[in-house]
């Protein structure tokens, strides 16, 4: 084999069976490599180098030679023989590791197609990289029903193996020096044949198909509809972030008849993975925080086995600690909104005083939604507990002082959206006047005022009785009781009765027991 002085070589050898000549159990190859002066470069004479194989199969292995003498002529003489004087078929191939064989190269955002036409075939590619690159390489078979399992090997500019990328189908690695890296594609057992595709990407300098820059996501375009149209295709999006920014990521597969399983990987400006999420329907919302300022990357691919499925997806991104164009919610004031599509969201803010507990309610006006309501503090951390009841709600007890972000969403993936209402009420220092003990008050629940709150003064050990009655036929009022800290205690339609454990102001919130019904009611309380 004519190499260059200083080259690093890898030799693959295999023994084969044929229809007329099965592999003898005694047929065992030995390989010796010499430089042109006759010095041994590699010697393998172990009698157990290959195990016995049956007709129609074969056994192969890889032998890496040390660097050729820099002052030599690069010529290598390889001797193959059988240790036991048996006969049989074999194959051999040689690749250079410190430089690619041929002129094939890899570039960010480009997928290459290839074919391993014969056993022991190896395709060799060059990737010119900086010394601080973060690289992703994926490969998959393109022959439906074929036996080929393609794998990759990566070597640095000196021909030394990148240890984390040896005989794997998918790899992410960081470079340690600048230069031309060698990427080899071969079959997992060196003997399979067939077509393959390989995708190459820079995670620290992301790009889309054809080398195009990633699409920038902003608050003005919170929902993206896109598709994966080819094997191992990756779509990249960039997000500008400040240190400690928190984001809410949602992902949905929108091809109902496809086995496509979209996956989103989140990478920091240096190409380090922060989070990932995948789904075959609608993924649970994912919150990730930017450790440092810079441009972050969302990389979307197919995560089904083999990465060969195609389909459509939607994703949305909401910044939680610095929400964009978010109106403020007032206590007891109903805010109306509408979702125009799946994965749409409406974002609001609320400024809470320290310990001033509050609760939120979300009403679905048409029944077409799957309402979802979430609350985050000023650092983007989720807060609150789901308020069990007949409407979607969240209770936030004894919050720290600050600005809170409220995100209203439709959890469905294929709904067309619809109108909704959202209301915030304080459960400590309620936005209502005190209700006198022993006196009946009346009110009306309707679309403009679906919830009304009342304050009650009680002391430790008091036996509290709260009652309601309907004034409108077919209507019933739902009462919810909160203690002086704003924590939920109880809920009932006609009567609440309990011995209170703390002195202070209790809050009762009245709404409709059947959502979206309206009517008049009477309310009274007594100790």
| Residue 53 reports pLDDT greater than 60 | no
Assign 211 to helix, strand or coil: helix
**What per-residue confidence (pLDDT) applies to 52?**
30
| Residue 46 reports pLDDT greater than 70 | no
**What per-residue confidence (pLDDT) applies to 488?**
96
**What per-residue confidence (pLDDT) applies to 47?**
38
**What per-residue confidence (pLDDT) applies to 22?**
54
Model confidence pLDDT, tens digit, residues 77-123: 998 887 777 788 888 899 999 999 889 999 888 889 999 999 889 99
Contact call for residues 300 and 247 (beta carbons, < 8 A): no
**What per-residue confidence (pLDDT) applies to 119?**
87
Nearest alpha-carbon partner for 55 in 24, 29, 80: 24
Task: Give the span between the Cα atoms of 496 and 491, in whole angstroms.
Answer: 7
Q: Residue 278: enclosing H or E segment and its boundaries?
A: strand 273-278
Task: Give the span between the Cα atoms of 492 and 496, in whole angstroms.
Answer: 6
Strand pairing class (235-241; 463-470):
unpaired
Assign 210 to helix, strand or coil: helix
Lowest mean pLDDT among 1-10, 46-55, 184-193, 275-284: 46-55
Q: Hunting for tokens 């209170």 — which residue is that?
A: 500
Q: Hunting for tokens 């690695």 — which residue is that?
A: 173
| pLDDT mean over 188-210 | 89
Task: Give the span between the Cα atoms of 497 and 490, in whole angstroms.
Answer: 9
Tokens of 286: 């994912």
Tokens of 491: 């809920």
Higher pLDDT pick, 51 / 164:
164
Beta bridge partners of 443: 521
Tokens of 455: 């304050």
**What per-residue confidence (pLDDT) applies to 415?**
65
| Residue 208 reports pLDDT greater than 90 | no
Model confidence pLDDT, tens digit, residues 499-519: 999 999 999 999 999 988 999
Q: Hunting for tokens 């409709």 — which residue is that?
A: 512
Higher pLDDT pick, 456 / 146:
456
Work out the end-to-end distance of the chain between its first and last CA atoms, rounded to an integer number of angstroms: 100
Give the global pTM. 0.83
Residue 119 makes CB contacts below 8 A (sequence gap 6+) with 14, 16, 58, 60, 91, 187, 190, 191, 192, 193
Tokens of 75: 């010529």
**What per-residue confidence (pLDDT) applies to 44?**
64
Tokens of 357: 């507990």
Q: Hunting for tokens 């909160």 — which residue is that?
A: 482
- pLDDT confidence bin for 49, thresholds 50/70/90: very low
In 323-413, the DSSP E strands lie at: 334-339, 345-352, 358-364, 371-376, 382-383, 385-386, 392-396, 402-410
Lowest mean pLDDT among 47-56, 251-260, 369-378, 494-503: 47-56
DSSP 78: E
Q: What are phi and psi of 384, to 5 degrees?
A: 90, 165
What's the chain's average pLDDT?
Answer: 89
| pLDDT mean over 321-326 | 91
| pLDDT mean over 158-175 | 93
Q: Residue 465: enclosing H or E segment and its boundaries?
A: strand 463-470
């Amino acid at each position: 084999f004519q190499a260059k002085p200083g080259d690093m070589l890898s030799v693959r050898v295999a023994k084969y069976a044929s229809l007329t000549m099965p592999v003898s159990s005694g047929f065992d190859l030995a390989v010796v490599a010499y430089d042109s002066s006759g010095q041994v470069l590699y010697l393998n004479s172990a009698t157990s180098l290959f195990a016995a194989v049956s007709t129609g199969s074969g056994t192969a292995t890889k032998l890496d030679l040390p660097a050729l003498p820099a002052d030599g002529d690069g010529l290598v003489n390889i001797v193959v023989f059988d240790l036991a004087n048996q006969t049989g078929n074999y194959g051999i191939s040689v690749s250079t590791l410190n430089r690619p064989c041929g002129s094939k190269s890899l570039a960010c955002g480009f997928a290459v197609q290839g074919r391993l036409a014969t056993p022991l075939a190896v395709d060799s590619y060059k990737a010119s990289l900086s010394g601080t690159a973060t690289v992703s390489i994926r490969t998959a078979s393109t022959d439906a029903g074929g036996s080929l399992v393609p794998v990759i090997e990566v070597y640095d500019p000196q021909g030394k193996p990148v240890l984390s990328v040896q005989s794997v189908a998918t790899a992410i690695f960081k470079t340690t020096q600048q230069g031309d890296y060698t990427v080899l594609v071969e079959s997992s057992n060196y003997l399979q044949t067939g077509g393959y595709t390989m995708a190459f990407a820079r995670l620290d300098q992301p790009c889309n198909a054809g080398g195009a820059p990633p699409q920038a996501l902003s608050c003005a375009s919170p929902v993206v509809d896109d598709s994966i149209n080819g094997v191992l295709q990756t779509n990249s999006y960039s997000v500008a972030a400040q240190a400690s920014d928190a984001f809410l990521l949602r992902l949905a597969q929108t091809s109902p008849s496809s086995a496509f399983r979209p996956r989103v990987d989140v990478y920091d400006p240096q190409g380090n993975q922060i989070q990932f999420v995948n789904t075959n329907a609608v993924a649970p919302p994912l919150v990730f925080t930017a450790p440092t300022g810079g441009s972050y990357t969302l990389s979307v691919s197919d995560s089904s086995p083999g990465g060969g499925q195609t389909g459509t997806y939607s994703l949305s991104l909401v910044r939680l600690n610095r929400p964009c164009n978010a109106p403020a919610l007032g206590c007891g004031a109903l805010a109306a909104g509408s979702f125009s599509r799946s994965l749409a969201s409406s974002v609001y803010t609320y400024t809470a005083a320290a310990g001033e507990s509050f609760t939120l309610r979300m009403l679905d006006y048409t029944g077409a939604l799957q309402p979802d309501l979430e609350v985050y503090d000023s650092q983007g951390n989720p807060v609150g507990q789901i308020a069990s009841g007949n409407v979607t709600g969240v209770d936030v007890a004894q919050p720290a002082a600050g600005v809170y972000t409220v995100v209203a969403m439709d959890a469905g993936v294929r709904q067309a959206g619809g109108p909704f209402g959202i209301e915030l009420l304080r459960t400590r220092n309620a936005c209502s006047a005190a209700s006198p003990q022993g006196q009946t008050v009346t009110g009306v629940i309707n679309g403009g005022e679906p919830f009304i709150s009342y304050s009650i003064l009680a002391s430790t050990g008091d036996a509290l009785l709260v009652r309601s009655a309907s004034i409108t036929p077919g209507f019933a009022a739902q009462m919810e009781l909160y203690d002086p800290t704003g924590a939920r205690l109880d809920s009932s339609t006609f009567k609440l009765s309990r011995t209170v454990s703390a002195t202070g102001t209790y809050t009762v919130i009245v709404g409709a027991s059947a959502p979206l019904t309206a009517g008049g009611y009477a309310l009274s309380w007594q100790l």
